Amino acid sequence: MEFTPFQSAHNSGCLEGIPFAHQTAPDDDTMLPDSRNTMTDLFPPLHSHPLLRGGHIQTLAAYYFGGANLPYRAVQHRVPLGDGDTLVLHDDCPRNWTPGEPVALLLHGLAGCHRSAYMVRIAAKLNNVGVRAFRLDHRGCGAGSQLAAQPYNAGRSDDARVALEELMHIAPHSPITLIGFSLSGNIVLKLLGEHPHDVPASVVRAIVVNPAIDLSRCVAEMNRGWNRIYDRRFVKELHAEVRSGKRHLPQNYAAPKTLWEFDDTYTAPASGFGSAENYYARCSANQFVGAIRVPTVVLTAADDPMVPLSTLEELDLPPNVRLHVASSGGHLGYIARKGTDADRRWLDWRVVDWVRAESILK
């Protein structure tokens, strides 16, 4: 789940218009005591911007001030699926990139698209260091808004696999990093852990940011206190999204009031799960993480208002998966004070660091 700047679901599949709230947090990074789960030598600590401390402020500031006013120069690749729906890959290729050099596949969060601010910024930064970036539009999102009858959901790892195979066809022999944000963090972890022996050898690493790995608990968290602003906004934009696309709606479908209700009346039945409870149980990636073999970083914030930290702290991680917890950063925020990075977007530079890392977790 995520927020994207000033774009409507009707036009782009991206959110707009969130009210403001406040929450405070300390200003240093949290490293969990279990050495299997922590990183001590890859990421520098996040020192939050002094005016942007706390999960809600970080989340909303990143949304309102996305900082992604960059020209669109990507080449689009349509990716047909077996059921007749189509995904869209947006191929941002550096000018001097040559076959065999690194590539990255970026997957957006709930109600996002290739135009989501973090997708645009990070793809541009990857291009600047010579990495070819592919931004995926899930079913019915962004450039694919009229190309899908079925909904995307947190369990669509098969779709991600088809997109990955298309990427491998376009850029054969290149090492690939998978980058998943929020809902797609769950998808990436599910892809890597559900059938670990089938993950292509060209996938050399992954990073997921604020992954919603326990869907039921994340939905419940967004129905508490100030967090309801996110729940209500998601519902409004998702409802508009399904009304404006070519989706097949059930006869009893009516405007939902909560995200759980939207999933129970639309997402789950349309995806073959029957109920929200069954959808959440079958698609949550926490049950697959232990089998992951690909070196993977899980990056989150202790004050994320949508993904409870406990859902990640409770994981029994394999040795090649590391959890980095910033004490603040909210949900896809991580706006820092001025420091050694070229700008204040701490999240962007940590993703770039991991894509370019010379040493791989073992």
Residue 1 lies in a domain: no
pLDDT the model gives residue 24: 38
3-state SS, residue 158: helix
Residue 3 lies in a domain: no
Q: Are 180 and 206 in contact (CB under 8 A)?
A: yes
Query: Average pLDDT for residues 199-220, to the nearest whole number?
Result: 99
Residue 245 lies in a domain: yes
What integer best gives the mean pLDDT of the chain? 89
Give strand ranges (E) for 247-320.
296-301
Share of the chain above pLDDT 70, in %: 87
The 10s digit of each residue's pLDDT in 151-161 is: 999 999 999 99
CATH number assigned to the domain comprising residue 60: 3.40.50.1820
Q: Are 204 and 229 in contact (CB under 8 A)?
A: no
Residue 111 lies in a domain: yes
Residue 198 lies in a domain: yes
The 10s digit of each residue's pLDDT in 239-262 is: 988 888 767 787 778 889 999 999
62 is in which domain, residue-wise?
9-356
pTM of structure: 0.89
Residue 65, amino acid: F
Which residues, in sequence order, are CB contacts of 161 under 8 Å at separation 6+? 191
The 10s digit of each residue's pLDDT in 314-351 is: 999 999 999 999 989 999 999 999 988 999 999 999 99
Question: Measured between alpha carbons, how far is 345 from 357 in angstroms, rounded to an integer?
Answer: 18
Q: Are 239 and 255 in contact (CB under 8 A)?
A: yes
Residue 362 lies in a domain: no
**Residue 41 confidence class, pLDDT cut points 50, 70, 90:** low
**Residue 82 confidence class, pLDDT cut points 50, 70, 90:** very high
Residue 344 lies in a domain: yes
Question: Measured between alpha carbons, how far is 18 from 247 in angstroms, rounded to an integer?
Answer: 26
Residue 2 lies in a domain: no
- Domain count within the chain: 1
